[in-house]
Amino acid sequence: MQFFTIDDAHSKDLDDALAIEQDEGGTTHVYIAITAVADAVPKGSDLDLEACKRLATHYRAHDVVRAMLPVAVGSLLPGQQHRCLVMDAVLHGTQVQGFSAAVQEIRSGYKLAYEEIPGILCDGSHKLHQAMTLGQKIALGLLEQRRKQGALALYDLNEGWYTSEEGFILRAERVEATIGHVIVQEMMILMNRLMAEYAATVDVQSKGRDTIPILYRNHTARPNAPEQSLLLEQLAAARLDPSLLDALRARIHMVVNRATYHPTLAGHYGLALPAYLHCTSPLRRYADLVNQRQLLSHFRDEATPPYTQAELVTLAEDMNQRLQEQQTQRSEAAREQAARQAGHRLETRAPELLATMSAKDFERLVKTVVRTGMLNPQLVEAVQLRMKAGTLALLDIYYLLFRTPSLLLDWADLRQQVCGYLVKNPHLAVSVLALGTNLDGWSELRFEHQAEGLPHIRTFYVLAGLDPGPGKPSVSLLHPAPASSLREGKQRAAVSLVYLIANVPPPTWERPQQTPPAAAPKPVLINEHNSVGTLQEWCQRCKRPLPEYTFQAEGDPPKFVATVTVGKRAFTGLLASTKKDAKAGAAGLACQEFLAKG
């Protein structure tokens, strides 16, 4: 077997190695070797106590800030012999036919960086080409299989992003590294999943236990989480429109909890798996080291595992608390660093340079300034330049309108300018308000409308509203936005709602001047009470598709609006007290159009 490792180019703590082979019958063996750190770091030793204190290896950019364990403990560097826990997963396609695990010596032959994988896949003469091609096929198949089962799993090789175990959106440092990340991630998920299922179901009654005591990796959704299918649809949409990624990333963080460790099994929401654990990174994560001790003890048929169930409960509670504290500290440090960088840029760069920053860098700048509450003239001018160029992003608009101090005049003036930008670009307003659903838990935007006039010269009056969150009153327009089309009316109403939420005096919309055509349609006498039948007869006589009706109810008591569709043409009537009258009104409009033409 030819083992190889895939990791960052600078990595030295290599926990895992892969080997992939396929027989003539199409059965594939995926060998995953995990360095046996537990043999070199006994429970309770000085190294173990220090590793427990650190919990994980921490990285920053291209360097290790603090390693959990020394590299010399068992890193799978090429050419070196190491004892490993090796799993042999037998697959036919992506279906697991079975697996076995044993402790054995292996030697890795290659240390590969993520960025090298595309080249190997394209080079038929490379010694690892066949294995890597198999690995890619299996990894993408496993990912697609999990996605169909409801996992928050997608990737984009062109844009360089992929989803983590918890469904969070990650970005590869270089686009060409993405497929390498996907291959490694899917192989590690495979081993962690199979080991979790095995630990939960293996018969160990002979040893006086029901199962192997182990730390599961549990992941749950919050009560406000939508159906997983909806999040998957949004992930798929973001794949087509990368501008949606940041808002979706924020929404996923809002609706799922952080994964935790516990010896009681609770399943994994993000992966859509009934059982999952961590055992593939014992050099970098303390939970993996603990689990490796338990697994090695079992596979060596030892009578008593290193940890009891009670010990694991105590350990899990301590780990979860400290990991959360570490995450909070890292987030605060990242915000402080972003604030320093933003301050430096505002002091040293002209507004023209700020305005030409990348969308992501400018977004960080806006967020940081908004968070501090101290408006900078350089930023104001840069925002004005981006509005003039039409490059002010949706997230920038959202933060400038809805996250800025409401009582400071400078911010109020900038909000008014940004609102004015939406008046000139009303198509952006609906998307800006939709961000509130993702970022702040707002309700879906709702519209009500009425229309007046003849079919060819109608005016629509549209109201908009939403609920900004639990305990907050609904926000709705009092005066409708007039427009010559329903689409334009919704855009104008959304702009007016933005003004209302941002506490900016509302815009004044001119009522559209409807100019009748030079030759008005020839009057057609239609029996109002039989317009439905008249339209049906006309469609049959002219061999057109038969009419199809849809209804919407508005208000309390409800009034009804009917839309009739004939082929590709649709006609929406006025509000009526009954569905019958609404249907007749819509049919009458269609008759006015079709019968006038003969």
pLDDT at 226: 66
Cα-based distances in Å from 102 to 31, 209, 215: 11, 21, 20
pLDDT at 521: 45
pLDDT at 224: 64
Q: Is 98 left (phi over 0), alpha (psi -120 to 50) or beta?
A: left
pLDDT at 23 over 80: yes
User: Please, are residues 140 and 133 in contact by the beta-carbon 8 Å criterion?
Assistant: no
Lowest mean pLDDT, pick from 291-300, 312-321, 343-352, 542-551: 343-352
In this prediction, residue 84 has a pLDDT band, given cuts at 50, 70 and 90, of very high
Which long-range contacts does 561-567 make (Cβ < 8 Å, 24+ apart)?
562/586, 564/535, 564/589, 564/590, 566/535, 566/539, 566/590, 566/594
In this prediction, residue 166 has a pLDDT band, given cuts at 50, 70 and 90, of low
Query: Dihedrals φ, ψ of 246, to 5°?
Result: -65, -40
Q: Which residue is listed with tokens 């290790």?
A: 64
pLDDT at 524: 43
Beta bridge partners, 92, equal 27, 95
pLDDT mean over 170-194: 82
Q: Which residue is listed with tokens 């396929």?
A: 22
Helices (H), 349-408: 351-355, 359-372, 377-389, 394-402
| Higher-confidence position of 356 and 593 | 356
Nearest to 456 by CA among 522, 498, 516: 516
pLDDT mean over 541-562: 79
pLDDT mean over 249-267: 82
In this prediction, residue 103 has a pLDDT band, given cuts at 50, 70 and 90, of very high
pLDDT mean over 331-339: 74
pLDDT at 568: 82
pLDDT at 492: 95
Please give the Cα distance from 543 to 539 (Å, whole number): 6
pLDDT at 576: 75
pLDDT mean over 25-37: 95
User: Please, are residues 446 and 428 in contact by the beta-carbon 8 Å criterion?
Assistant: no
Helix axes 394-402, 377-389, angle to 10 degrees: 140
**Number of Cβ within a 10 Å radius of residue 443:** 14
Q: Taking the CA atoms of 221, 224, 227 and 233 in sequence, report the sign of the dihedral they define.
A: negative
pLDDT at 567 over 50: yes
Which range has the top average pLDDT, 61-75, 247-261, 384-398, 503-517? 384-398
Please give the Cα distance from 38 to 84 (Å, whole number): 10
In the Cβ-directed half-sphere of 199, how many Cα atoms lie within 13 Å?
30
Segment 361-395, tens digit of pLDDT:
888 889 888 888 888 888 899 999 999 999 898 88
**Number of Cβ within a 10 Å radius of residue 592:** 19
pLDDT mean over 493-510: 93
Q: Which domains does the chain have, with CATH numbers?
A: 3-307 (no CATH), 393-501 (3.30.160.20), 528-596 (3.30.160.20)
User: Please, are residues 73 and 37 in contact by the beta-carbon 8 Å criterion?
Assistant: yes
pLDDT at 157 over 60: no
Average pLDDT for the chain: 85
Residues across the chain: 598
In this prediction, residue 161 has a pLDDT band, given cuts at 50, 70 and 90, of low
pLDDT at 522 over 60: no
| Higher-confidence position of 485 and 238 | 485
Please give the Cα distance from 443 to 440 (Å, whole number): 9
Helix (H, G, I), strand (E, B) or coil at 165: coil
DSSP tag of 443? P
Segment 272-320, tens digit of pLDDT:
899 999 999 999 999 999 999 999 999 999 989 999 999 999 999 999 9
pLDDT at 520: 44
Q: Taking the CA atoms of 529, 532, 534 and 537 in sequence, report the sign of the dihedral they define.
A: negative
pLDDT mean over 62-68: 70
| Higher-confidence position of 455 and 108 | 108
Please give the Cα distance from 192 to 198 (Å, whole number): 10
Nearest to 338 by CA among 358, 360, 367, 359: 367
Structure tokens at 534: 């008249």
Which range has the top average pLDDT, 71-80, 288-297, 333-342, 525-534? 288-297
State CA 307 to chain mean position distance.
37
Q: For residue 587, give the amino acid letter.
A: A
Please give the Cα distance from 112 to 140 (Å, whole number): 19
